Amino acid sequence: MTDDLFGLAEESDLRPETLAPGAVVLRGFARGDSAALVAALREVSAEAPFRHMSTPGGFRMSVAMTNCGELGWTSDASGYRYTALDPDTGRRWPRMPTSFLRLAQAAALQAGFPGFVPDACLVNRYEPGAKLSLHQDKDERDFTQPIVSVSLGIPAIFLFGGEKRAETPRRILLTHGDVVVWGGPARQRYHGVMPLKSGEHPLVGTRRINLTFRKAG
């Protein structure tokens, strides 16, 4: 899965970068698969279009979202939850593409979480200015399972905090193909994404896409 077909992978690509116990960045891990991932994503978003969900408090999220897999994360006036049906279409979420599943499992294994079987993939699309406020991921049932997060497109600054919101987060630049795996003692850490700066990526265009794989059910 690393992009070493022509021996171009850099040293740093091969060594996981530890953010905290249980959280690692696998630099460039998805780069070699990224064209296939983007092609598969086009089919997913044709079936389940990106939409701006509302927070329970009534705010429109700046990040546009969709899902694939058995379960999809949704937010509206009644709260955050996973659903088997897309509330916008009334149909099941699209199947998780095999390329997505294989990548997520390989990344989890590389990070020390064998046997990861995600049933949900939340897809986040950031246009310039879009951001994600500090939050914890706590809508899943089983916190022993990690989250695998794949960044595609233009770079973003990822905020990685502590177990309390007040802790000042670290800032980590995530670029096209970077994968963050997040589990064990890091599972409940606050995190977010700074407002996206403008840019252009040859494959993805003027946006950033993030895929987060979870075992939700």
Positions that interact with ligand MD6 (CB under 6 A)? 124, 132, 137, 147, 149, 158, 180, 182, 191, 193, 210, 212
Q: How far is the CB of 124 from Fe ion (least distance, A)?
A: 9
Q: How far is the CB of 121 from ligand MD6 (least distance, A)?
A: 12
CB burial readout 130-139, b (16+ within 10 A) else e: bbbebeebee
Choose the contact partner of 100 out of ligand MD6, Fe ion, none; CB within 5 to 8 A by kind: none
Q: Where are the beta strands (DSSP E) in 77-207?
A: 79-83, 120-126, 132-135, 147-153, 156-160, 170-174, 179-182, 191-193
Q: How far is the CB of 214 from ligand MD6 (least distance, A)?
A: 8
Per-position x/- string for 111-140, each x denoting binding to Fe ion as judged by CB under 5 A, each - no binding: --------------------------x---
- State whether residue 46 is helix, strand or coil: helix
Instruction: Give the length of the chain.
Output: 217
CB 140 within 8 A of CB 116: no
Per-position x/- string for 38-57, each x denoting binding to Fe ion as judged by CB under 5 A, each - no binding: --------------------
Q: How far is the CB of 10 from ligand MD6 (least distance, A)?
A: 22
β-pair type (120-126, 208-214): antiparallel
Residue closer to Fe ion, measured from CB, 13 or 213: 213
Residue closer to Fe ion, measured from CB, 33 or 137: 137
> For residue 18, what are the CA distances in angstroms to 25, 52, 86, 178?
6, 32, 35, 13
Rg (CA), the chain: 16
Residue closer to ligand MD6, measured from CB, 107 or 180: 180
Please state, in angstroms and rounded to a whole number, the distance separating the CA atoms of residues 153 and 196. Answer: 11
Residue closer to ligand MD6, measured from CB, 4 or 61: 61
CB 215 within 8 A of CB 118: yes
Choose the contact partner of 105 out of ligand MD6, Fe ion, none; CB within 5 to 8 A by kind: none
Residue closer to ligand MD6, measured from CB, 74 or 210: 210
Residue numbers at the binding site for Fe ion (CB under 5 A): 137
